[in-house]
Structure 1
Amino acid sequence: MPKLARALQQLPPATAAAIEKLGADLAVARLRRKESLKTWAGRMGVSVPTLQRLEAGDPSVGIGIVATALWLIQRDGELGKLAAPEHDRGALEMDVRKAEELGRARALASAEARTVKRQSKR
């Protein structure tokens, strides 16, 4: 049995659960379309065992295979939105913190400049 990549061993539990749900949802989509594993795997260009791993939520299945499965059910358009910068909360929060820090720094500099100006007028 191949060694599991360290990144997969460190997969957060919520992420692992989401991958398992995606696999189960893809299995349901295939079954609702009354497609066999063999037919669906053939349409995807993968082996039946690979499709079974995908449907079981195996996180080592390649993203291209996942994308192809999503394409088969006409959901691949969502891939382009998954990591879109406008939805990156962590980066947005960092941008807000930087803006707040800049605002505080400018307010402090302005206050100091006013103080210096007042003192020079005396």
Structure 2
Amino acid sequence: MPKTARALLQLPPATVGALEKLGADLAVARLRRKESLRSWAKRMGVTVSTLQRLEAGDPSVGIGIVATALWLIQRDGELRDLAAPEHDQGALELDVRAAVALGRARAQASAETRLSKREQD
């Protein structure tokens, strides 16, 4: 039996839930298209057991397999924006904090310069 990667064991519960929902949604998409596990797996180039793991939300299924499943339902275009910098809220907040800190530092430096000029006059 293969060893499970530590990262997979440490997935946050919300992420596990999201993977399970994605798998279930892909199963619904397959069923709505009236495709069997066998035919869908063949179209994806995977085994039926891999497709079953994907539909169960198994986090060890490779991202390429997930991408192929999304391609089959014409949703693979969503992948290009998943981690786009303009949608990275955490990084945007850090950028804002850095800009605010820089603005405060410059304002403080400007105030100190004005004060020292006044003292020199």
What TM bracket, shorter-length normalisation?
over 0.9
Q: How does 1:20-99 map to 2 (within 5 A)?
A: 20-99=20-99
1:56-98 Cα offsets, whole Å, 9 max, x none, are 0000000000000000000000000100000000100000000
1:77 partner SS: helix
Provide the rounded CA distance (Å) in 2 between the counterparts of 1:118 and 1:82: 53
Q: Provide the TM-score with structure 1 as the length reference.
A: 0.98
Show structure 1 runs of 5+ residues with no match. none
* Equivalent in the alignment of 1:115: 115
* Equivalent in the alignment of 1:17: 17
1:89-111 Cα offsets, whole Å, 9 max, x none, are 01000000000000000000000
Provide the rounded CA distance (Å) in 2 between the counterparts of 1:54 and 1:7: 18
1:27-68 Cα offsets, whole Å, 9 max, x none, are 000000000000000000000000000000000000000000
Where has structure 1 moved over 4 Å in runs of 4 or more? none
CA-based RMSD: 0.4
Identity %: 80
2:105 partner SS: helix
* Equivalent in the alignment of 1:2: 2
* Equivalent in the alignment of 1:101: 101
2:17 partner SS: helix
Provide the rounded CA distance (Å) in 2 between the counterparts of 1:13 and 1:51: 22
Q: Provide the TM-score with structure 2 as the length reference.
A: 0.99
1:8-28 Cα offsets, whole Å, 9 max, x none, are 000000000000000000000
